[in-house]
Amino acid sequence: MNTKKYLILGAGPAGLTLANKLKEAGETSFLVLEKEAEAGGLCRSADVDGAPLDIGGGHFLDVCRPKVTEFLFQFMPEKEWNVFDRDSKVSINGKIIDCPLESNLWQMDIDEQIEYLLSIASAGCNTGEKPPQNYTEWIPWKLGRKIAENYMIPYNTKMFGDEIDNLGAYWMEKLPDVSFEETLRSCLTHVPYGKLPCVHRFYAPKEYGYGEVWLRMADAIKDSVEYGKAVTGIDFNTLTVTTTDGSRYTAENIITTIPWMEFSEIIGMPEEIKTSISELKYGSVEIEYFPDNVDTSAHWIYYSEPELAYNRILFRHNFYYGSKGYWTETQGHRLQQSDRNNFRYLNKYAYPFMTKKKPEIMKHLLEWAEKHNVYGLGRWGEHQYYNSDVTVGVAMDMAKRLMGRTNK
């Protein structure tokens, strides 16, 4: 068995960035193991009905991290991307309003605006109440009862199912408070207020799907990636991993970007940490393609209505030029039997859930694993709600940290 200096599990954005950064620094002793036949993870695309479709759900590259976009442009130059100002909307009781809802209440009927304004005025964040730790209590505290009841709770119940009651509020704490005064001003002047939402400007490839940039990154390290290698076991005593086809790989350092739940056999880890892994929660998403064009300028619309199984529609004709049709995103717990013959793709691991227990579980797990030269990285390795630009950023930092540590 050939021992590598770095064994990277998973060829999604995290694994690919780390591998390419190691290569850039002159490192040659690394190997990436990927379960699928292709790299890119949740950011993969497929050609469907003559145009690209993001099989992991709608993916757009935020413009706001220049170090990350510069790095990605090494593989897919900026001229190969279109830039868009985000046009996203929410559907609330059948009415379509610009996103985010709290900045665009002025688009509601007058009577409704008054009700929303009154509920914002009495929201806990505006009356000086202490912020609750539970997500479902925190939403009305932050946005007011009316936005909570009419939009946020129904939408998030679609996203998280029964787990919504187990979520903490810590992952939303950076959101600015909704100001009564600013909301009132917005309703009077018909101008949205507040900070622009995350990914308010984004890149989307001109000719390809979002998956293309990751395929190119994988191609740059093609001799150091093995596909069809589903890792199922890890031995912390010998730093060995095993795959479903019976292969074994040993390394001086293992960097795992795959969900911790994928390890069905773990050797050398204390039982209480092993048990805590089974308490990590996650959600799945299925995308389904429909060939019709829709008369909307939106790139995507969020749907809060419980009677609709899906929670988001992406109108690809508005961002992949020359394409037609749209796709829906439906959470795993809401999938329904259908005899439609549309293209569908189910992503088992889509959303790491930010449960109340998660920070403590991950802190212990990652600290303990690092002492054994095993590092968790990315959306699944860290069980964090990272977008791909953030994932690339943390993988770039990890490369620096590993090279600094092992070159000492």
Ligand X SMILES: Cc1cc2nc3c(=O)[nH]c(=O)nc-3n(C[C@H](O)[C@H](O)[C@H](O)COP(=O)(O)OP(=O)(O)OC[C@H]3O[C@@H](n4cnc5c(N)ncnc54)[C@H](O)[C@@H]3O)c2cc1C
Q: Residue 192: name the closest of 85, 316, 294 by CA.
A: 85
398 near 255, Cβ under 8 Å? Answer: yes
Q: Quick check: 34 binds ligand X (CB under 6 A)?
A: yes
CB of 97 to ligand X, least distance (A): 20
Q: Quick check: 14 binds ligand X (CB under 6 A)?
A: yes
Q: Residue 194: name the closest of 77, 296, 101 by CA.
A: 101
- Is the bond leading into 205 cis (omega within 30 degrees of zero)? no
Which residue, judged by CB position, is nearest to ligand X in the bound state? 12
Of 315 and 351, the one with the shorter C-beta distance to ligand X is 351
347 near 55, Cβ under 8 Å? Answer: yes
Are β-strands 81-85 and 30-33 bridged in parallel, bridged antiparallel, or unpaired?
unpaired
Q: Quick check: 329 binds ligand X (CB under 6 A)?
A: yes
- DSSP result, 291-328: ----S---SEEEE--TTSS-SEEEEGGGTSTT---EEE
Q: Which of 379, 383, 396, 398 binds ligand X (CB under 6 A)?
A: 379
CB of 377 to ligand X, least distance (A): 7
Of 59 and 145, the one with the shorter C-beta distance to ligand X is 59
CB of 54 to ligand X, least distance (A): 8
Contacts of 360 (CB under 8 A, 6+ apart): none
Of 10 and 168, the one with the shorter C-beta distance to ligand X is 10
- Cα dihedral: 222, 228, 231, 232 (round 10): 180
CB of 105 to ligand X, least distance (A): 25
CB of 199 to ligand X, least distance (A): 6
Q: Which of 7, 33, 213, 398 binds ligand X (CB under 6 A)?
A: 33
Q: Residue 167: name the closest of 143, 124, 141, 133 by CA.
A: 133
- The DSSP element (H or E) to which 352 belongs, if any, is strand 344-352
Q: Which of 262, 316, 319, 326 binds ligand X (CB under 6 A)?
A: 262
324 near 51, Cβ under 8 Å? Answer: yes
231-260 footprint of ligand X as x/- string (CB under 6 A):
x-------------------------xx--
For residue 376 the two structure tokens come to: 């968790």
Total residues found in the chain within this entry: 408
Q: Quick check: 378 binds ligand X (CB under 6 A)?
A: yes
Q: Quick check: 156 binds ligand X (CB under 6 A)?
A: no
CB of 89 to ligand X, least distance (A): 16
Q: Quick check: 36 binds ligand X (CB under 6 A)?
A: yes
337-376 footprint of ligand X as x/- string (CB under 6 A):
-------------xx-------------------------
Q: Quick check: 386 binds ligand X (CB under 6 A)?
A: yes
The residues that touch ligand X, with contacts defined as CB under 6 A, are 9-15, 33-36, 41-43, 56-62, 199, 229-231, 257-258, 262, 285, 329, 350-351, 378-380, 386-389, 391
